A and B are shown apart, each in its own frame.
Chain A
Amino acid sequence: MSGMEQKNKPLLEVRDLAVAYGKVEALQGANLTLRQGELVTVIGPNGAGKTTLLSALMGLLPARGEVTLDGQPLSADVDVEARVGRGMILVPEKRELFAEMSVEDNLRLGAFSRRAEGRAARDDTLAEVYDLFPRLKERRGQEAGTLSGGERQMLAMGRALMAKPRVLMLDEPSLGLAPLIIREIFRIVAELKKTGVSILLVEQNARAALKVADYGYVLETGHVALEGPSADLAADERVAATYLGGKKG
């Protein structure tokens, strides 16, 4: 969707990002780069700090360290709404849909940050999202709360796309979904990448994530334990060890 922009230019850069809950450091100096048009995945076991990382990037949690978008620093007083305005869009782990509203209203609210652009532009995006998720078009009048788990995830992603994100952050899109649906979700993620949007994908489902990603980071107890091109990571035995315990190799 922003294919005109130059590839390989760093879009989002994270340096020494740290988050503490009380005395516990949930994130201890994470470094990460997302380039234009790239799909980067952050994998790691439960409690490694993946969701914390995304919350901090969105400004939902106070964090130390440096985050720059397009070379522009996102300081602490740039709040969530302002980050959304700059094109940082998060699809949260819990989806956070507006349960008693229709699918279409949920989608339209996704473009709230673009309300200055006028209705026609937003309607165009709505048509694009419906093309990508025909299921949502079928259910446009249905209340979001009555959707199945997979449809909810699609709606959450569709709603995020309505904002025309520059950085799309997906937090565990496969969480709680049946294998068949997970496959569908990852197919869509791969398709989104082709449209040129830069994606930061946080996943527990390491194999599937590494399969679609260009580059990967393995987060373990609040720091980046491993990183590399996703094909290399997928072959690395240490990845399995971080999930199942018992450091082998």
Chain B
Amino acid sequence: MRRHLPVALFVALLASGPLWLPEFGVTLLNYIGLYAMVALGLVLLTGVGGMTSFGQAAFVGLGAYTTAYLTTAHELSPWLTLVIGWIITGGFALLLGAITLRLSGHFLPLGTLAWGISLYFLFGNLDDLGGHTGLTGIPPLSLGSLELKSGESLYFLIWLIVLAFVLVTRNLLDSRTGRAIRALKGGVVMAESMGVNTTRVKMVVFLIAALMAATSGWLYAHLQRFVNPTPFALNMGIEYLFMAVVGGVAHVWGAIVGAGLITVLKQWLQDLLPQLLGSDGNFEIIVFGLLMIFMLQRARDGIWPLVLKLFHGLGAAPRARVLPEAEPLERRPARKAGEVLLDARQVTRRFGGLVANKDMSLSVAAGEILALIGPNGAGKSTFFNQISGVDTPTSGEISFLGERVDGAESRRIARAGMSRTFQHVRLLPTMTVRENVALGAHLRGHGGYLAAALRLERNEEARLLREAQRALERVGLADYADQPAGSLALGQQRILEIARALCADPCLLLLDEPAAGLRYLEKQALAELLKSLKGEGLGILLVEHDMDFVMGLADRVVVMEFGEKIAEGLPAEIQTNPAVIEAYLGGVE
């Protein structure tokens, strides 16, 4: 219960606010609440999802103008216009997202910058929207016969919505879909090979952020009872981003802290600076700008993490999460030992004039460990990418469980039962070890965004986390389950990736240099693990440089050089094969 104490205290303070705050304080808190909603959307979008938008103010404007116009010109109910506002905003967001989300990172913020400007001028120049003067006479919100006319009466509605958004966001992040959202920061390749549809996830996050902004706009219109274009201009869009960054862009509470801090600071600066410096200036934007530069140079994570540190003290051990009992997840039917899982034939990959893979053929059967070795630059990683759907072969055939998979999306291949690790570790350093592993089980769950937001998928979530825990126990990392993955040594991070791959219940495991960075005893433990997985009927294909490790473990070895297979056979044969010795020691006479 102690965990919830600060939140309870915060809510109690908020709820009693109008009793002891001056009217001005209530007004200020109303605005903080409105801004916090928008900043919260940015936390999800920027802090968690890694996408940046300067155009949230325009979404706020869409929400505000929709209700302003429809309630005045057509006298619709504000509750109806809220929904219409969501639909319009959502439509804009989908269109903009469809255009920019596929492009590399910086085109989205640039697009939002331009679109923020153009929408502002649109608001100001449409006669139906009152031009730069705006629209007046917006009716107040009403609940039955109760009219929410005053700022004080709207106060509760605003903060109720803020808290609801916070709750929903927190629920969402602490779920299967939340892990998928957070996986965006680990890179598209990793997320997709865990089965995450990254395009869709990005779109949904962008949409949620836009809808939160539109809600804020709707409330704003009914609080002010009039709207004009100014509060939806680009500089406000920038300020929203500042709020999120200053508060702590990766933290839900950071949005509220940032909104509060910037709003109060702005108020204070607007009062104070003109007295000090004369009245003809816009001094607060100078201070904000400098503050922002300073924050990003010195405390890029914002204020909230500092607050957390203050309260928890440095180095406090992360709480071990108690997992509820849950049934194990369903498993794939086991494969018969010897059944061919993967069959690659004549795979060739050209990059321009360079042939990275040439007529590579190999097959892996259930219950077998096949090692793929070769000098640097022999094309092993390229070949891995062809198999796992990261890249498409120029020619050749790859079939997995009897189906053609060359050129298929890595998501589909993952679903079919192929799981991989990466040569350069790709995990989410701030997420706990267990959550990282649970991401591997993404395709074994089904809970959607709404279910996660409303906590309707807790049973499935418990099963996913249990599965992750089991995988961790298997690889010997159970003790670290609640620590951030980034705190592990590099070798352990590689093992974590194996646990993550296992969590997908694969029938074929692709391991890219799993033993790199491991100490001798850890290597032995890894070898034991791989042998026992093999005993359960898994097929394993591994690229590895440590020859002692490979020769003691693999059933068969395939050697590559210059993109081609130069030898294949039992480990002992390979070690004495003249072509292999030539490849490794060089053959220049």
Contact = CB atoms under 8 A, between A and B. Distances in A.
Interface of A: 21-24, 45-47, 148-149, 172, 174-176, 178-179, 182-183, 186, 203-209, 211, 239-240, 243-247
Contact of B489 (A23, A175, A239, A245): A23
Contacts of A245: 546-551, 575
A230 to B, nearest CB: 13
Given A23-B489, A24-B517, A246-B551, A46 B585 contact: no
Contact of B588 (A45, A47, A183, A247): A183
29 contacts: A23-B490, A24-B490, A24-B517, A45-B545, A46-B375, A47-B516, A47-B545, A174-B586, A176-B377, A179-B587, A182-B588, A186-B588, A203-B586, A204-B375, A204-B584, A205-B588, A207-B586, A207-B587, A209-B586, A239-B585, A240-B581, A244-B575, A245-B546, A245-B547, A245-B549, A245-B550, A246-B551, A246-B575, A247-B548
Nearest to B492: A23
A243 B588 contact: no
Given A46-B375, A178-B562, A24 B575 contact: no
Contacts of B585: 205-207, 239-240, 243
Contacts of B513: 47
B548 A21 contact: no
Nearest to A145: B352
Given A244-B581, A246-B551, A204 B376 contact: yes
A24 B489 contact: yes
A205 B562 contact: no
B376 A46 contact: yes
Q: Which of A46, A176, A183 is most buried by chain B, counting CB atoms within 10 A of its CB?
A: A46
A209 B585 CA distance: 10
A179 B375 CA distance: 14
B580 interface: yes
Contacts of B551: 245-246
B447 interface: no
A182 B491 CA distance: 34
B115 to A, nearest CB: 32
A51 B580 CA distance: 23
Nearest to B577: A244
B586 A45 contact: no
Contacts of B562: 176, 178
Interface string B539-574: 000000111111100000000001000000000000
Contact of A208 (B376, B549, B581, B588): B588
B547 A45 contact: yes
A22 B587 contact: no
